[in-house]
Amino acid sequence: MAELTDLVTARNLVRSHIRSCGTERQNLIHALGRIIAETVIGEDDAPPFDKALVDGYALQANDINSKRESRFSVVETVYAGQPPHFPVAAGQASLIMTGAPVPLGADAIVMREHTQADADTVHVELDHVAVGQNIMKRGAAHAVGRAIVEAGQLIRPVEVGVLAESGRTEVKVYTQPTVMLLQTGDEVVETGAKLKPGQIRNSNGPMLSALVSQAGGKPVSSCLVGDNVEDLKRSVHEGLQQDLLLISGGVSVGDKDFVPQVLSSLGVNQVFHKVNFRPGKPLWFGTHERCQVFGLPGNPISGLVSFLLFVAPAIATLVGHRCAWESWEQTATASLEEPFQLKGERPAFWPGVRSIDGRTVRALPWKGSADPYTLVKANCLISFPIGNCQYTVDEDVTVIALR
């Protein structure tokens, strides 16, 4: 029997073969969720002028603080989008609206709620006003020449907003890898099919497609193939034209597990086959020119866990995530609420429920890798790194968030 590859070694081997897919220009509105591939430098101050932060009266703070004035003559009203027409001198004020440019001479704004106004004057009911009160100075949020967004950042709605404010309508982002999904097995039928004896519906295809999209990849096709070598060859050959090929099933030691044989016949270079963890031991990985090939176990949760540990960080690397292998899995430490006996020699990833405060975690009763229904109740996977081990109450374990 071939020796199993250590989990850390296997992950490092995948990591060493993964490279970015390049870059492309993308309309800003459609760049949400992508990784920006350029550092954007601000060409304007933000705000581009001294800006009112409240509705109120722009005046000179010293008039109030020196007790010289409490009633001011109002010289004009300044609205957002409109430049002031008059400067503010001692004893004067301008009624100003939120977002409007502050007139010259004014160095503070008193909120309207602290004043009483008549036709052309206003009385201020405060004894002290700080210089700069309720004013955002030009360039206070961002100055010309500074980076607005740096290469490698995830574009969230807030990045879309600041890039739009800086005048950008498109940005350079890392290209999404194209991914073909191939589900194997004579027993697998389309999701909407009525089952005949011995058949199961294709759950892996939709699940893996969702996982690919969540990780930042672009599923381009998905197909079912029976356990037939020639049919597999045709489908695999098509899949090798993409950036990633994910094959579900056919990688273990059954009489009809033809995937490793087919991959070898098509010139795919095997990097490893079978990894020391569960669920997911039969995992296969190899390369063919620009295509990275993952042979995932056919059991649903074996495929899910293999994807989270290997494929998701690989895709994250391809789309430009910084430190993808360190940060993609949202890991944390929690204490076991109950004792747990791990049977079997291999390290395991077990479905669990982490408490709301994140301090504790409970392993769920689970029927194994063919049982996806328990995972619906789980919000994390618990890492049990040592097989045939009794884990005790309050023992710290690593957990991986299920998103």
User: Mean pLDDT over residues 206-229, rounded?
Assistant: 91
pLDDT at position 235, please?
94
Superfamily the domain 7-22+176-327 falls into: MoaB/Mog-like domain (3.40.980.10)
Using DSSP bridges, classify how beta strands 380-384 and 348-354 pair: parallel, antiparallel or unpaired: antiparallel
Answer CATH for 330-401 from 3.40.47.10, 2.60.120.10, 2.40.340.10, 3.50.50.60 = 2.40.340.10
List the one residue out of 112, 113, 93, 111 whose CA is nearest residue 103.
93
pLDDT at position 328, please?
59
Distances from the Cα of 17 to the Cαs of 125, 152, 288, in angstroms?
70, 20, 11
pLDDT of 1 above 60: no
Enter the tokens of residue 104. Answer: 């010259």
pLDDT at position 282, please?
93
**Domain 51-136, second-level architecture:** Beta Complex (2.170)
DSSP of 51-73, one letter per residue? EESSSEEEE-HHHHHTTS-SEEE
pLDDT at position 301, please?
92
pLDDT of 161 above 80: yes
What is d(CA 132, CA 265) in angstroms, rounded to the nearest whole number?
Answer: 74
Query: Contact, 293 vs 364, CB < 8 A?
Result: no
Tens-place pLDDT, residues 363-376? 999 998 888 999 99
Query: Contact, 53 vs 109, CB < 8 A?
Result: yes
Q: How confident is the model at residue 20 (pLDDT cuts 50, 70, 90)?
A: confident
pLDDT over 90, % of the chain:
81
Enter the tokens of residue 110. Answer: 């008193």
User: Burial level of 75, CB count in 10 A (0-12/13-18/19+)?
Assistant: buried
Residue 242 sits at the vertex; the CA angle it makes with 238 and 248, to the nearest 5 degrees, is 70
Query: Contact, 15 vs 123, CB < 8 A?
Result: no
User: Mean pLDDT over residues 89-95, rounded?
Assistant: 97
What is the residue extent of each domain of the chain?
7-22+176-327, 24-46+142-174, 51-136, 330-401
Residue 292 φ then ψ, to 5°: -100, 130
- Does this model's pTM top 0.85? no
DSSP of 181-225, one letter per residue? EEEE-TTEE-TTSPPPTT-EE--HHHHHHHHHHHHT-EEEEEEEE
Tens-place pLDDT, residues 327-341? 656 789 999 999 999
**Domain 24-46+142-174, second-level architecture:** Alpha-Beta Complex (3.90)
